[in-house]
């Protein structure tokens, strides 16, 4: 009998809102949350998912901690701080781990430092190379909380945040930790925007997943952190399916085999069938190849009736944080027992070359809260993961 594992509490910040309540409202009202901005090193304005509210100040004095990435992590952490403190008091700091996924870390601060070095031949005194280490967000949270359990970062591109949750479950089941602060955080930077632009993968309009008119992704930023434990509260992390099909360094396997394999493995791990899944949060990037592959995989595993939606038109593609933010959306459906599914925001023009999937139209509601929901995160190099969340009864 596998030991159950739960996401006891959750904090979130993204373009769609600065709290769980704000994000849940945004997903049901179908409003506009992405913004057009210049200044990211490309020739035209970009549609971006920015966190434009005031972020908390970093309470640690060392230069290495002073990054926007850590501010986003702190904004999410502050929302769950009472739960975190309760677990630390109950089990001791040595039994609390921290695992956080990211792909940019403090690279934005690194960009600013290099710019000054080019212009003035000196590095700014406020810069420390440790800012942009991939383990920096996890180190920051552990240092702030004064925990002594395992601390490390995960960077598998767009699946990083979801893989942090899977790792947290393993640490708890192995008896290494009694609770783990886990999730993902990524701040926007010029390197990311220019990099995806060079791949011809970005859209200057709001992304349009699964549409015949889709033109690419919108880069976003944000974070979501969870308290992962074996105490039955919040939502259960019922199933995890991971794979690394290594089809191509950046392009997904068009057959969808890797993605379908992750979904099937998650179902097997949870002891469920596809008929048990009430909703699928699609990776849904709005690129031609990803949507084609995911439509094939979802249709193969779940058929054409299971409600699905991509929430990236609300948040942007938050890269290393995406898997955690989309897990947080699924957490809201199960832990908060919402009967409103996230709207699939698009132009309503289906691509005739894609197998049919049941995209949620405006305010698709049912009287029964969702029992099981699945979230997909598919990354460069075939670093795929599917997570299944269940309502705690």
Residues marked active site are found at: 158, 283, 317
Distance CA 320, CA 186 (A): 6
Q: Can you give the three-state secondary structure of the chain, one letter per residue?
A: CCCCCEEEEEEEEECCECCHHHHHHHHHHCCCCCEEECCCCCCCCEEEECCCCCCCCCCCCCHHHCCHHHHHHHHHHHHHHHHHHHHHHHHCHHHEEEEEECCCCCHHHHHHHHHHHHHHCCCCCCCCHHHHCCCHHHHHHHHHHCCCCCEEEECCHHHHHHHHHHHHHHHHHCCCCCEEEEEEEECCCHHHHHHHHHCCCECCCCCCCCECCCCCECEECEEEEEEEECCCCCEEEEEEEEEECCCCCCCCCCCCHHHHHHHHHHHHHHCCCHHHCCEEECCCCCCHHHHHHHHHHHHHHHCCCCEEECCHHHHCECHHHHHHHHHHHHHHHHHCCCCECCCCCCCCCECCCCCCCEECCCCCECCCCCCEEEEEECCHHHEEEEEEEEECC
Task: Give me 93's structure tokens.
Answer: 């700091």
Beta bridge partner(s), residue 97: 180
Cβ contacts of 256 within 8 Å, gap of 6 or more: 293, 294, 295, 296, 297, 300
165: left (phi over 0), alpha (psi -120 to 50) or beta: alpha
- C-alpha distances (whole Å) from 327 to each of 133, 190, 304, 389 are 24, 26, 22, 8
Q: Would you tell me how many other CB atoms lie within 10 Å of the CB of residue 257?
A: 17
């Amino acid at each position: 009998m596998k030991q159950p594992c739960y996401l006891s509490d959750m904090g979130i910040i993204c373009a769609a809102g600065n709290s769980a309540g704000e994000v849940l409202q945004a997903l049901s009202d179908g409003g506009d949350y992405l913004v057009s901005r210049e200044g990211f090193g490309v020739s035209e304005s970009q549609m971006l998912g920015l966190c434009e509210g005031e972020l908390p100040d970093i309470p640690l004095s060392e230069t290495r901690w002073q990054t926007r990435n850590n501010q986003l992590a702190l904004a999410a952490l502050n929302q769950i701080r009472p739960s975190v403190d309760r677990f630390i008091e109950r089990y001791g700091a040595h039994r609390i781990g921290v695992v956080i996924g990211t792909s940019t870390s403090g690279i934005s601060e690194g960009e600013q430092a290099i710019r000054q070095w080019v212009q003035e031949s000196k590095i700014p005194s406020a810069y420390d190379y440790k800012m942009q280490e991939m383990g920096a967000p996890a180190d920051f949270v552990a240092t702030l909380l004064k925990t002594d359990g395992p601390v490390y970062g995960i960077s598998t591109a767009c699946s990083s945040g979801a893989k942090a949750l899977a790792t947290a479950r393993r640490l708890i089941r192995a008896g290494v930790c009694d609770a783990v602060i886990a999730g993902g955080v990524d701040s926007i930077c010029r390197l990311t925007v220019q990099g995806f632009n060079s791949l011809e993968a970005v859209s200057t309009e709001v992304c349009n997943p699964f549409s015949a008119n889709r033109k690419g992704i919108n880069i976003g930023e944000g974070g979501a952190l969870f308290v992962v434990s074996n105490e039955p509260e919040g939502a259960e992390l019922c199933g995890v399916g991971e794979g690394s099909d290594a089809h191509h360094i950046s392009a997904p396997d068009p057959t969808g085999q890797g993605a379908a394999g992750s979904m099937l493995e998650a179902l097997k791990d949870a002891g469920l069938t596809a008929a048990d899944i009430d909703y699928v949060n699609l990776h849904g990037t709005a690129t031609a190849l990803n949507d084609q592959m995911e439509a094939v995989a979802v249709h193969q595993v779940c058929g054409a009736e299971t409600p699905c939606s991509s929430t990236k038109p609300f948040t942007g593609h938050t890269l290393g944080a995406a898997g955690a933010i989309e897990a947080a959306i699924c957490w809201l459906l199960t832990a908060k027992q919402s009967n409103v599914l996230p709207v699939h925001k698009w132009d309503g023009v289906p691509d005739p070359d894609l197998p049919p999937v049941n995209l949620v139209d405006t305010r698709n509601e049912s009287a029964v809260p969702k029992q099981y929901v699945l979230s997909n995160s598919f990354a460069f190099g075939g670093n795929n993961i599917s997570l299944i969340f269940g309502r705690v009864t």
